[in-house]
Amino acid sequence: MQNTQKRVLTIQDISAVGRCSITVALPIISAAGIECSVLPTAVLSTHTGGFEGYTYRDLTSDITPIANHWKTLGLKFDALYTGYLGSFEQIELVSGIFDDFKAPGGVVIIDPVMADNGVLYGGFSSDFPAAMAKLCAKADVILPNLTEAAFLLGEEYNPAPDKDYVDGLLKRLRGLGAPNVVLTGVSFEPGKLGIASHNDSGTGYFFREKIDGYYHGTGDVFASAFLAKYLSKRDLLESAGFAANFTVSCIIEKQKIPGEARYGVPFERCLGQLAGIDK
């Protein structure tokens, strides 16, 4: 048994219903044996992807007092992980939190949640991606999907990427400043879907059989499982492959249970796969 336990801070919203952001990150990271602290940036009654009339309580003004209290405790985190951030001001504050709370040897992992299938999520203005790109310069690892990658770079979305395009995209993403990039939603042939990774050691790919359909919250499942594995192994492609396999397991469970996509995937049934990966 190790005599230390890794400690993570995740900074994103609480969507009370719909299995995404903190309600996904906290259980997944905890199941991997890692302590997970949370900095909630907003509380919503549901996420914004498929529900009408959701409530939104902005917690931006709580961020600095929370951080100030933590400073008095001398807290540091082995990883800081951000997902959905709701405003320019939150991006600015989060940037300062990276500076103040990253432990020596710690990592910043940014999932630049803001878009999918060629379009920005509702509520994000067209200049938001540039601010997110600036934040990404402070990350050790960024985890965009293909749409977010295009928005981060100010490029047109390419709905049918080939390998040359993806290889170029990975290099341009790295040019934003993060030394490790994992691109999700990559497909070069019908029936296969996966990820591409890129860092100093080179470019790697990992594919699984494509499962048709839309599964809400799987980006957050992927990012949380990636973080859990990466913290113990620090191997980019292996961690991304592990997270892809975990996400596919959750989708397979979803297919066994009838239910609306907007309520997310039953990752709870797969948490056992995470036990012991911190060792």
Residue closer to ligand PXL (CB basis): 14 or 237: 14
Binding to ligand PXL by residue 220, rule CB under 6 A?
yes
Which stretches does DSSP call E strand in the chain?
A: 7-17, 35-46, 56-58, 77-82, 102-110, 115-116, 119-120, 141-142, 180-186, 192-199, 202-209
Shortest distance, CB of residue 261 to ligand PXL, whole angstroms?
12
Task: Report d(CA 100, CA 90) in Å as an integer.
Answer: 15
Binding to ligand PXL by residue 225, rule CB under 6 A?
no
- From the list 46-54, 88-96, 149-157, 270-278, the region that binds ligand PXL by CB under 6 A is 46-54
Pattern 53-92, ligand PXL, x by CB under 6 A: -------------------------------x--------
Shortest distance, CB of residue 82 to ligand PXL, whole angstroms?
11
What secondary structure does DSSP assign to 232-253, as a single string?
HH--HHHHHHHHHHHHHHHHHH
Task: Report d(CA 167, CA 30) in Å as an integer.
Answer: 34
Identified binder of ligand PXL from the candidate list 88, 121, 157, 207, rule CB under 6 A: 121
Binding to ligand PXL by residue 49, rule CB under 6 A?
yes
Residue closer to ligand PXL (CB basis): 13 or 140: 13
Q: How many helices (H) and strands (E) does the chain have?
A: 8, 11
The residue to which tokens 């993060």 are assigned: 178
Binding site for ligand PXL (CB under 6 A): 13, 15, 20-21, 44, 47-49, 84, 113, 121, 217, 219-220
